[in-house]
Amino acid sequence: MNSMQVLVVDDPHSCNCLLEFICSFRTLRSARLRPFFVYLTEREKKTEDAHETNAEERVHDDSSSTITDATAKKETTETNKPNEEKIVAERRDDERIQMMKPPAEPICDFSNPRTEFCEMKGDVRIHGKPSSVVFVSPQQQNNEWKIMPYVRKQMENVEKVSVRTASSPEGVPSCTINQTVPAIVFALGGFTGNYYHDLTDVLLPLFLTARQFDGEVQFLVTNIQVWWFGKYQQIIKRLTRYEFVDLDNSDEVLCHPHVMVGLRFHNDLMIDPARAPNGYSMTDFTKFVRSAYSLKREFAISLREQPDRKPKLLLVTRNGSRRFTNVPEIVEMAEGLNYEVVHADASFGDVAGFVDVVNSCDVIMGVHGAGLTNFVFLPMNAVLVQIVPCCELEAMATHTFGFPSMAAGLHYLEYNITVDESTLLELYPRDHAVFTDPQSIHRLGWMKMGKIYLRKQDVKLDVNRFRPVLQKAMDLLRQ
């Protein structure tokens, strides 16, 4: 058994207090509230010490009123007596309130293996040069992520943006500029400058992210390239009414009520309406860009209604690799099928001038490459004909232009060249793995595969073998 200690108390008042203490302890123990009792007794002791100090000060203060023993005893008893039920009820109320608070919604989406995207609504602060975005919300725990503000998160030439959450504004930079419109933080760089990547990596994702705001949104850009905004100014001006901000050279702390970091992305030159704001589709995008450039033709020629008209065929010629080596022969064959042939390619900065030519045509044909990206400016029901180089590049070609053009309301035709139509025969013997085992080259990786099949290869089109494809395009225009 535990040893028993006897405490002798000769003061009647102290004896009464001790008796109350013991009774209170037994009651609390039977209620299994000993931890709570410890808290109360510690709090009671602090209160009692404070009370004794105040009483002592009043005794030594000549201006204080006289305090009788009875009054002092009453005040001590009332101060020390814990309102147990009230404290327990308050604690339960606090716990209930915490349980009723909705959980903080995730602000960043990392589910897409290709991209990262964050969206915040409330008190959001963007500090320019540090490339820092802070979301202040009492519902958020303190977290931080490094976000790639470009749709290919493995890019090494694009700096990441810091996105963090803070439960309070303590330690967070104060706003220097307050805005009332949403903001989109994104980066240029990466593959921008290539016509295809300008569309699929930036312009279409920017449409997907910004169009829902009907111009009431501001672009905050890292790794900015001013020439790029000039090149596509017709599209940019339709997406925002505000000047863009060069974050890399800004010391301001910009505060917006709604901020997105990165751009929405579904697939290359593709929109999934089920996931898009307002159910946008590829036809919405192509209609938007035609409107941005004030292009007149919404639909291609109908040979059923106008059988005597000549459809216009745009032959996309290339100055680099994958060019046609027998253009005059191709033109002669196409004109023999009653096409009016236009062969051209856009100069680097003259997008506006070239898209008007594209929109005037009913069929566009060319070897797999960035020039075929111009299909987005074709009128509805036009035909895209993609010539696929050797060897076994069909899946890549269909993914790049086939699926997107069909989603945009166009007809799509594909022509796969033979080994005899490839200038690779001038570089490798016919029994080389380049021809006999293309997958062995593909397995070497994109860079080595591309160096052979995309950079070294030109096309000498077999016009007799290709003629049925253009006849099929003509039939599609008769539907």
Residue 115 corresponds to which tokens in the numbers above?
């991209």
The answer, yes or no, to whether residue 237 has pLDDT greater than 90, is yes
Q: Residue 80 in contact with residue 48, Cβ under 8 Å?
A: yes
Compute the average pLDDT of residues 63-74.
Answer: 43
Q: Residue 357 in contact with residue 314, Cβ under 8 Å?
A: yes
Q: According to the per-residue pLDDT averaged within each range, which of 269-278, 318-327, 346-355 is highest?
A: 269-278
- The predicted pLDDT at position 116 comes to 95
The string over 392-423, giving b where at least 16 C-beta atoms fall within 10 Å of a residue's C-beta and e elsewhere, is: bbeebbbebbbbbbebbbbbbbbbebeeebbb
Residue 466 corresponds to which tokens in the numbers above?
């290709």
- The predicted pLDDT at position 86 comes to 65
Domain ranges of the chain: 12-60+68-100, 108-280, 312-477
- The predicted pLDDT at position 1 comes to 45
Note the pLDDT tens digit of each residue in 331-372: 999 999 999 999 876 665 678 888 999 999 999 999 999 999
Mean of the per-residue pLDDT values of the chain: 84
- The predicted pLDDT at position 30 comes to 40
- Nearest-angstrom CA–CA distance, 80 and 41: 9
417 φ/ψ angles, rounded to the nearest 5 degrees = -75, 160
54 by Cβ neighbours in 10 Å (0-12 / 13-18 / 19+) ranks as exposed
Cβ count near 24 (within 10 Å): 17
Is 213 or 98 the better-scoring residue by pLDDT?
213
Q: Residue 358 in contact with residue 314, Cβ under 8 Å?
A: yes
Residue 371 corresponds to which tokens in the numbers above?
């020039």
Confidence of residue 59 (pLDDT cuts 50, 70, 90): very low
Confidence of residue 50 (pLDDT cuts 50, 70, 90): very low
- Nearest-angstrom CA–CA distance, 384 and 314: 10
Residue 434 corresponds to which tokens in the numbers above?
């380049």
CA distances from 320 to 212, 247, 326, 418 (A): 38, 36, 15, 21
Strands (E), 273-344: 312-316, 340-344
Task: Give me the sign of the Cα torsion angle 149, 150, 153, 155.
Answer: negative
pTM given for the model = 0.77
- The predicted pLDDT at position 93 comes to 59
Note the pLDDT tens digit of each residue in 423-437: 999 999 999 999 999
Q: Residue 375 in contact with residue 361, Cβ under 8 Å?
A: no
Least confident of 130-139, 293-302, 350-359, 458-467: 350-359
- The predicted pLDDT at position 156 comes to 86
Closest C-alpha among 359, 376, 372 to residue 316: 372
Confidence of residue 89 (pLDDT cuts 50, 70, 90): low
Task: Give me the sign of the Cα torsion angle 52, 56, 59, 62.
Answer: negative
Q: Which fold has domain 312-477?
A: Rossmann fold (3.40.50)
Q: Residue 186 in contact with residue 206, Cβ under 8 Å?
A: yes
- The predicted pLDDT at position 141 comes to 86
Give the end-to-end CA distance of the chain in Å, rounded to a whole number. Answer: 103
- Report DSSP state, residue 31: T
Q: According to the per-residue pLDDT averaged within each range, which of 87-101, 182-196, 342-356 is highest?
A: 182-196
- Nearest-angstrom CA–CA distance, 67 and 279: 79
Q: What is the DSSP string of 229-264?
A: HHHTHHHHHHHBSS--EEGGG---EEEEEEEEES--
- Nearest-angstrom CA–CA distance, 340 and 372: 19
- Nearest-angstrom CA–CA distance, 256 and 240: 15
Compute the average pLDDT of residues 87-99.
Answer: 58
Compute the average pLDDT of residues 133-159.
Answer: 92
Confidence of residue 38 (pLDDT cuts 50, 70, 90): very low
